[in-house]
A and B are shown apart, each in its own frame.
Chain A
Amino acid sequence: MFGRRRVNDSLAHVGRIHAADRDTALVLARETHFRHNEAVDYAVVRSDQLHHVDDKSILERHVDIDYRLQAGYSGFRDKRAAAREAAERRGMTDLQTRPAPGRDVSSEST
């Protein structure tokens, strides 16, 4: 069973229903999963229509993939400040702050 909480929400899995066919599932789902105003829309898919990935080992990771995760960027501000200081100590004083994306640099210089 999938339900949509609000009109613009995506369908989200809410659980299962045991029923002999599609129509029975749709009639009974209202009370099984949506009896407390949980949804503005719902849908059912036969469980044998779900195609599971055969080789679940392809989900395993054996190397560090921190750079793909938000957690890999924690403390970024401090790291950047430290890098800047180190660069200045080495005399790299012309290190520029990059303009924020979308800012029109040419108009700023006037």
Chain B
Amino acid sequence: MTTVRAATGLAVPALDSPRAQLLLVLGDDDLVNGHRASHWTGVAPAIELDLAFATIAQDGVNHADLWYQLIVTDELSSDDDHVRVAVDAIGLGRQPDRYRHAILCERPPRDIAFSLARHIVVDHVVAVRLSVLQGSSDPAIAGLATKLAWEQRYHLQHADHWLARLAGAGGEHRRRLEDALAVVVAEAQGLFEPFDGEEEVVADGLLPVDHREIRARWVEAMTPVFDGLGLADLLAIDTVPDEASGGRCGRHSPDFTDDLWPEMTALYRSDPGASW
């Protein structure tokens, strides 16, 4: 145990390269979003929604694990002990200001309307990004994006179903969903902020298009979904509120630094490098 623990400090690979920064953006959005979605496990309004949302939350954490693996090695190798130690160190061993997720992802669950609104909006952004990354010049990134895009289909099916149900139900359902979407869509603009190294990974083709084009494709994908439900006005929102800006540079809100991060990393920090 002592040797593993001693090695942990060395196991965090360099995270400063543009490629690593891209993978952190992808992994951190999934990890933090997954943690916040897992809030509903055991307490969702219905057991069936509980199970489905728990799976989607788990997928987020798992997808983060896979993106982090590509920082450590060129190909996925979940069973390699060194990779496992390094992946845990990346996912749970960083200080809060080294995380690159958008601030929207770290917001507390509030109510089920907010969590479903975030699920609807963020999972569509993730789907667009996966579709872009399938054309990455890095074969490992392109290959993983293809695998994840397959799983993402259920996330979208689930998200679009609840969107249609709640928006179509009218009354309080519609009002609460609309209120949540207004906040979420505005804060979601933080997902499209550039990150350190973005210019380089776009120039190298690792990320085939930049954040502006990803946003344009997301708007294109959301338009038919929102249009049919009379929610198209939401897509006119293109500025991020100050308090939801800066996640890509490691500037996070107390929702992360004082709430989610301490909880999410507590077990890891209690014995770094331990095998669970």
Contacts and interface: CB of A to CB of B under 8 A. Distances in A.
Interface of A: 17-20, 23-24, 27-32, 35
Contacts of A32: 47-48, 51-52
Given A18-B46, A24-B48, 10 more contacts: A27-B52, A27-B157, A29-B48, A31-B52, A31-B54, A31-B55, A32-B47, A32-B52, A35-B51, A35-B55
Interface of B: 46-49, 51-52, 54-55, 154, 157-158, 161, 165
Contacts of A17: 48
A30 B154 contact: yes
B51 A28 contact: yes
A30 B52 CA distance: 8
A28 B154 contact: no
Contacts, number: 32
Which A-B residue pairs are the 4 nearest by beta carbons? A28-B48, A31-B52, A31-B51, A27-B161
Contacts of A31: 48, 51-52, 54-55
A32 B55 CA distance: 10
A18 B158 CA distance: 16
Given A18-B46, A18-B47, A28 B165 contact: no
A80 to B, nearest CB: 56
Contacts of B55: 31, 35
21 contacts: A17-B48, A18-B46, A19-B48, A23-B161, A24-B161, A27-B52, A27-B157, A27-B158, A28-B48, A28-B49, A28-B51, A29-B48, A31-B48, A31-B51, A31-B52, A31-B54, A31-B55, A32-B48, A32-B51, A32-B52, A35-B51
Contacts of B54: 31
Contacts of A19: 48
A32 B48 CA distance: 6
Contacts of B165: 20, 24
A18 B48 contact: yes
A73 B62 CA distance: 56
Nearest to B49: A28
A74 to B, nearest CB: 46
Nearest to B53: A31
A18 B47 CA distance: 9
Contacts of A18: 46-48
Contacts of B154: 30
A20 B47 CA distance: 13
Contacts of B158: 27
A35 to B, nearest CB: 6
Nearest to A30: B154
Nearest to B54: A31
A63 B51 CA distance: 49
A61 B21 CA distance: 74
A33 to B, nearest CB: 9
Contacts of A28: 48-49, 51-52
Contacts of A24: 48, 161, 165
A79 to B, nearest CB: 55
B201 to A, nearest CB: 35
A24 B48 CA distance: 10
Nearest to A19: B48
